[in-house]
Structure 1
Amino acid sequence: MSVAEANEKLSLGMYVHLREGDAAKNVAALSKIVNDLTAARCCFCMDDRHADSRVCEGSIDHCIRVAVQSGMSLELALRLATLSAAECFGLADRGMIAPGRLADFCVLQDGPEFCISSVYKRGVLASSIPKPGPAGSCICPPFSCRIPIKEELALPTGNLRVIGLVSGEIITEALESSKAGSVHKVVSVDRYRSEGFGVDLVKGFSFVKGAVAASISHDAHNIIAAGVTDEEIILAVTAVKDSGGGMAVVCDGIITVLPLPCGGLMTPLSYEDLLDQIDELAERLQATGASPAAFMNLSFLSLTVIPHLRITPRGLFDGDTFKDVPILFE
């Protein structure tokens, strides 16, 4: 979202959410729209962020630090993180320390940085609240997708439409293969039926080798994959299917999978155990040459409500005309 678009939304009485996710980052850019008059209609947002990022950098507290570093006053940043967010969602019982409100608050460490010392929930120190026991097993219907074969991933010859990733954004560019430069194939496989997959080209992953695939693919959460060779893409898709959902990296003949057995989206593991698997997956991802945000970028490539080009099991989708379009320019 640009500053101009954010100001337009504010002028129409809308709320503006400043987000600092793994792929979409606009807190720094949009901090300049926040002032004493607009702060009540602005709040921070922390979605589409991996567990390791939350543990290493933080959540809403990370937004506060980025905003202050970008010139926003600490007082306004705290307003966005607390009262503004509570009012946005109609939570009249929280958002400030006052009579009649829930005693949800944090105590800060001394120093110029916004660093949390302790957290209280309804007046109780959060670290003293017993943690729930180990999670049970997840029930997820088996993936019914048909894995494409190499011949089915062949693209027509000619000038093709290309999905262009935009750094720090979830929008994409509509490019042409004759002008795009280095591109890779991207595949969206229908996980619910034994038919259907779309193939296109994408620019911006910076793969040197290998492929990635995941069952986190907004909003239908089909299996989506991208990579250097058809064989590696097929291996990555197969690994996700065989795991009942997850995130997979194929590189140098090694297949690394982070299983997500709860609907292909979540894991019953504790975050401590999950971080070990994320670290292993990140190490293999780095070996492909792709950016650390590759999985998050991949997950948005099927989100058809966001301009401009997207990929679905039906094929290429134009978010401006809101209809399927052929990959080949006519």
Structure 2
Amino acid sequence: MTQVDLIIKNAHVFNVYLRKFQDVQVSIKNGKFYWINEHLPNLTTKQVIDLRGKYLIPGFIDAHMHIDSSMTTPKIMGNAILRYGTTTIVADDHEVTNVAGIEGLKDFISEDSPIDIFFGIPSSVPSTNNQMETIGGKIGIAEIKDLLDDPRFICLGEVMNFKDVTSKNDTLIKNIIRICRKQKPTMPIEGHTPAYHGEDLAKIIFNGVTTDHTQQTGKLVDEKIRNGMFVEIQLKSMHPDVINTIMNNNYYEHVALVTDDSMPDTLLKGHLNLLVRKAIKMGMTPENAIYISTYTPARHMGLWDRGAIAPGRVADFSIVDNLQELSISEVYKGGISEKNIIKNTSSTKFIPKSLINSVQAPKLSKKDLILKTILVDNGIVTANIIQINEVGTFTNHIQRQLKVHNHIVDWQANGLALIMVQERYGLNKGKIALGLVDRGIIGDGAVGATWCHDHHNIMIMGTNIAGMINIQHQLLEQQGGYIVTKKDRIVANAPLPIGGVVSNEPLSTLGSQIGKIRKTLVELGYKNTNEIMSFSTLSLLVSPTLKISDKGLFEVKSQKKISLFELNKN
């Protein structure tokens, strides 16, 4: 007789290898699945669970996400998402790395978590270069070699710099990819390849990038898969043309669902389970939706000990009452109920030393935000403007003719918002860059944050200058955060004291704070499917088309600096 820890009877058990449910019994020993069969003779156990026809599925695996982009810590993240069935994640924590380098990264990932966390090596810190943005840390060859020796790092995090990846020169990112290939030949090279196709896509793949997770269309998914890429589908890419492309071409082996950036208020509702449920509602069979959230991400990341209910695999699983609704009644991690795991988790606040007191910039006054031009004294200038889209994080580059009086530009009369980015690391005396935004804040108010991808300087946008100044002063006082004003009064505030990007408050508190910021942005006329991420990626210099940093405006693909004003051509 063989002693096991747990036997589960009368369940419909999902077999990822057959991609179907089977009525079998499941045994668990030492935190792993032991024997799965219709009958389990010769086994003895102290605990038997009778599921009475419920469903058993493997724990979800999120192969591409950012803990720090959810503004929370590894432990709080794990406690939040374990109850939704996510038992393993691969996190690329390049936000804290941009703030405080490898020391900040190591401090941040030192916190224990109730789920299994593997990591991607931040490949693009900075996301572009020091001529385009100021950051607090840097990842170079020495840091890459250091992290390659850590078995927790199983992939190269998203490679963002298209220009350097495809350059004819021997660039830093090319050397990073080469070192990873030499030391760990099977390591996935995650990519950030938004809207690239044709020869541009061929160049990216040719230079070693194996994966993409960015905003997709059905046509892009098809082209990438046909050219050998593994495609990670996040929520903003779950459109009918994308899902239909996967289903119609039976592309399940080549895709996985991922969360990428989960906002704190969203985490109060769910995690990867929300994407699986949506895929089912969009016509994907439950079997295929579960398959691309368990087995394919595990296989892609080389995590051969999980992603399946099979002998020797880690006993991570969820009990599901209804497949169509994906209603999860209980989750087990390593054969232990999540209720017992979370109950035994301490609630001590996480305070990593290298990420405290990181916001260092001088206070601004209203005169710092007067928009001037030397091109004309009185007359008209052409302004290069960031235009926000209602879906996703891409922007448009538009131009408007604005009146000038005594060198001061009248942007208020054109329904625009002023945007300001200030260097916050004490490296450039708090230098600021100004720009203009169309379809941003429409009402009387402002929004500002130090959670500004990926350089995480201070970025503030608004129509009310006093409100913008109040935000800047408050961000300095509380060492980072996300703040919104109506007129000049602060009405929503989410402090982020860890590196200016992360809170150590309970998720219920942080989620409520971010939810209020989102609600206030909507009230001020901001329109986007994810208002929080949309604003904070106006500074992301690798996401098309026109973005801003403390160094000014940049056209993303060419990395060309764009002047805010030009002489009127008429």
TM score, norm. by length of structure 1: 0.91
**Residue 182 of structure 1 pairs with residue 415 of structure 2:** yes
**Aligned with residue 484 of structure 2, among 234, 249, 252:** 249
Query: Superposed, which structure 2 residues align to 1:117-266 within 5 Å?
Result: 117-129=329-341, 130-137=344-351, 139=353, 140-153=356-369, 154-156=371-373, 158-178=381-401, 182-193=415-426, 194-255=429-490, 256-266=492-502
Instruction: Give the aligned partner of residue 326 of structure 1.
Output: 563
Instruction: Give the aligned partner of residue 12 of structure 1.
Output: 227
Report the Cα offset of residue 155 of structure 1.
Answer: 4.3
Instruction: Give the aligned partner of residue 96 of structure 2.
Output: none
Which amino acid in 2 is paired with 1:281? I
SS of 1:160's equivalent?
strand
Q: Give, in whole Å, the separation in 1 of the partners of 2:566 and 2:327.
A: 52
SS of 1:34's equivalent?
helix
SS of 1:307's equivalent?
coil
Report the Cα offset of residue 66 of structure 1.
Answer: 1.6
SS of 2:243's equivalent?
helix
RMSD of Structure 2 on Structure 1 (CA): 2.2
Structure 1, unaligned runs of 5 or more? none
* Contact kept in structure 2, 1:225 and 1:298, CA below 8 Å: no
- Size of the alignment, in residue pairs? 325
Report the Cα offset of residue 146 of structure 1.
Answer: 2.9
Alpha-carbon displacement from aligned partner over 1:67-102 (angstroms, at most 9, x marks no partner): 222222222111111111112222111111111111
Report the Cα offset of residue 118 of structure 1.
Answer: 1.1
* Contact kept in structure 2, 1:214 and 1:295, CA below 8 Å: no
Instruction: Give the aligned partner of residue 275 of structure 1.
Output: 511
Report the Cα offset of residue 60 of structure 1.
Answer: 0.8
Change (3 A) 1:71 1:206: farther
Q: Give, in whole Å, the separation in 2 of the partners of 1:38 and 1:137.
A: 43
* Contact kept in structure 1, 2:385 and 2:399, CA below 8 Å: yes
Q: Give, in whole Å, the separation in 1 of the partners of 2:488 and 2:399.
A: 31
**Aligned with residue 62 of structure 1, among 250, 274, 284:** 274
Which amino acid in 1 is paired with 2:532? F
* Contact kept in structure 1, 2:357 and 2:497, CA below 8 Å: no
**Aligned with residue 78 of structure 1, among 271, 287, 290:** 290
SS of 1:231's equivalent?
helix
SS of 2:391's equivalent?
coil
SS of 2:239's equivalent?
helix
* Contact kept in structure 2, 1:239 and 1:257, CA below 8 Å: no
User: Which is richer in strand?
Assistant: 2
Report the Cα offset of residue 283 of structure 1.
Answer: 4.6
SS of 1:81's equivalent?
coil
Q: Give, in whole Å, the separation in 1 of the partners of 2:282 and 2:322.
A: 21
TM score, norm. by length of structure 2: 0.54
Higher mean alpha-carbon deviation, 78-87 vs 108-117, is at 108-117
* Contact kept in structure 2, 1:138 and 1:261, CA below 8 Å: no
* Contact kept in structure 1, 2:393 and 2:534, CA below 8 Å: yes
Report the Cα offset of residue 290 of structure 1.
Answer: 2.7
Which amino acid in 2 is paired with 1:11? R
Q: Give, in whole Å, the separation in 1 of the partners of 2:494 and 2:455.
A: 20
Change (3 A) 1:270 1:171: same
Change (3 A) 1:239 1:115: same
Report the Cα offset of residue 296 of structure 1.
Answer: 1.4
Higher mean alpha-carbon deviation, 140-149 vs 46-55, is at 140-149
Structure 2, unaligned runs of 5 or more? 1-215, 374-379, 403-410
SS of 2:494's equivalent?
strand
* Contact kept in structure 1, 2:358 and 2:499, CA below 8 Å: no
